[in-house]
Amino acid sequence: MQRSTDRILTTHTGSLPRPEDLTRSMFAKEEGVPVDGAALAARIEAAVAEVVGRQVEAGIDVVDDGEYSKPSYATYVKDRFHGFKGKSEPLQYRDLVDFPGMARRVFGDPGRARRKTPACTEPVSLRDPEAVRTDVANLRAAPARTRAREAFLTAASPGVISLFFKNEHYPSHEAYLFAIAEAMKHEYETVARAGFVLQIDCPDLGMGRHIQFADLGIEEFRTMARLHIEALDHALANVPPEQIRMHDLVLAARATAVSFEGANPRHAHEWRVFETVRVPDGKTIIPGVIDSTTNFIEHPLLVAERITRYARLVGRENVMAGTDCGFGTWVGQAAVDPDIVWAKLGSLAEGARLASRELW
């Protein structure tokens, strides 16, 4: 993970809106409709080149492939691993129980409705070792990548995989978790060997509280979260920490950089955590300074204000400006209009420039 010595760098969480034709092809694939594999692969390669260019044009320093090869940031593993052949069941969100109308809207989302989460009914093992190599090749081939400061690829954590895919095979959650961790080593290490930053998506360390472990008390949940981090660190044993960043706030893990929500109304106050929590030496925080769920375009001055607040608490060299979450966490997600996404990212870049003038 590169650090800037002269300005605040910008990045995002990984997923970006997909072109409409790619979305249609990915929907068809999820629904079991025959799809021309070669044609889909060629379209993904071209789309990755396009989206990298758009990120650079928007002023983003650390870019990625938009997660264009994946139906979602976590459920893609069903296509790359053996073991997931059971019945697909929707997740249960405990925090939506009191809001049935909102629950209907959430589960009626076209992308979420097509999301497949088959249970684990057999041993988990690698089935398609070439998939991540193709992701690497597509990002490496994108012409605009060389104009970016750095590039990253995302991968699901063992914990979030265990959240989406119910265990119906292993004798315990711990056994299931470490089996997934062992299987994910190939993907993690392939990305790192290619020279890219590896972003591990770990929302299980947050949203697992009201989904996977909704019946546990807070201390019991923290125990499970520690187990998830242990499994992740096991999977990352051969990946240099400086090439790892996480999407969640767990400073004890091996990752050098940690991304977390900081702009939406539920989390915007949490910058105060850093009044008492010290960021360990060598770590970078990537707070979300633009919201990924609304169509409001944050003013660059607000973005700059948020960035400077963190920088003054933890040190300007320890901060990179990011987004709360992805803008296309699964195919067909439409919380933010695609054109507005790029306007928001442009505002992020301009806010970072304004903050840099104030901080340097």
The pTM (predicted TM-score) of the whole model is: 0.93
CB contact burial 341-352 (16+ within 10 A = b; e otherwise): bbebbbbbbbbb
**Tokens linked to 214:** 């909704």
Tell me the pairing of strands 322-323 and 284-290.
parallel
Q: How far is CA 293 from CA 264, 297, 307, in A?
A: 8, 11, 19
The rounded distance, in Å, linking the Cα atoms of 307 and 295 is: 20
pLDDT tens, N- to C-terminus, the chain (360 residues): 767 678 999 999 999 999 999 999 999 998 889 999 999 999 999 999 999 999 999 999 999 999 999 999 999 999 999 999 998 877 777 777 788 887 787 777 766 667 789 999 999 999 999 999 999 999 999 999 999 999 999 999 999 999 999 999 999 999 999 999 999 999 999 999 999 999 999 988 888 888 888 888 889 988 999 999 999 999 999 999 999 998 876 676 778 899 999 999 999 999 999 999 888 888 999 999 999 999 999 999 999 999 999 999 999 999 999 999 999 888 877 789 999 999 999 999 999 999 999 999
